[in-house]
Chain A
Amino acid sequence: GQNIDQPTEMTATEGAIVQINCTYQTSGFNGLFWYQQHAGEAPTFLSYNVLDGLEEKGRFSSFLSRSKGYSYLLLKELQMKDSASYLCAVMDSNYQLIWGAGTKLIIKP
Chain B
Amino acid sequence: GAVVSQHPSRVICKSGTSVKIECRSLDFQATTMFWYRQFPKKSLMLMATSNEGSKATYEQGVEKDKFLINHASLTLSTLTVTSAHPEDSSFYICSARTPQGTEAFFGQGTRLTVV
The answer to the question of A33 belonging to the interface, with a C-beta cut-off of 8 Å to chain B, is: yes
Interface of A is mostly: loop
Known contacts A42-B93, A87-B43; A95 and B103 CB within 8 A of each other: yes
Q: How far is the CB of B10 from chain A (nearest CB, A)?
A: 10
Which residues of the partner chain B approach A101 to less than 8 Å between Cβ atoms? 42-43
Query: Which residues of B (26-80) have their CB < 8 Å from a CB of A?
Result: 34, 42-46, 49
What is the CA–CA distance of A42 and B101 in the complex, to the nearest angstrom? 21
Which residues of the partner chain B approach A44 to less than 8 Å between Cβ atoms? 106
Query: Which residues of A (80-109) have their CB < 8 Å from a CB of B?
Result: 87, 91, 95-97, 99-102
A43–B93 touching, CB < 8 Å: yes
A43–B106 touching, CB < 8 Å: yes
Query: Which residues of A (30-80) have their CB < 8 Å from a CB of B?
Result: 30-31, 33, 40-45, 48
- Which range contains the number of A residues in contact with the other chain? 10 to 19
Q: Interface centre among B1, B6, B45, B46, by most A CB within 10 Å?
A: B46
What is the CA–CA distance of A30 and B104 in the complex, to the nearest angstrom? 13
Cβ-defined partner of B104 (8 Å) among A48, A95, A99, A102: A48
B43–A95 touching, CB < 8 Å: no
What is the CA–CA distance of A40 and B110 in the complex, to the nearest angstrom? 10
* Interface membership of chain B positions 88-115, coded 1 if the CB is closer than 8 angstroms to chain A and 0 otherwise: 0001010001000111111111010000
What is the CA–CA distance of A95 and B31 in the complex, to the nearest angstrom? 13
Cβ-defined partner of A99 (8 Å) among B6, B44, B97, B101: B44
Which residues of the partner chain B approach A41 to less than 8 Å between Cβ atoms? 108-109
A42–B106 touching, CB < 8 Å: yes
Q: How far is the CB of A41 from chain B (nearest CB, A)?
A: 7
Closest 5 A/B residue pairs (Cβ): A42-B109, A99-B43, A45-B104, A42-B106, A101-B43
* Beyond known contacts A33-B103, A96-B49: 14 more, CB 8 A cutoff: A31-B102, A41-B108, A42-B6, A43-B106, A44-B106, A45-B1, A87-B43, A91-B103, A95-B101, A95-B103, A97-B44, A100-B43, A101-B42, A101-B43
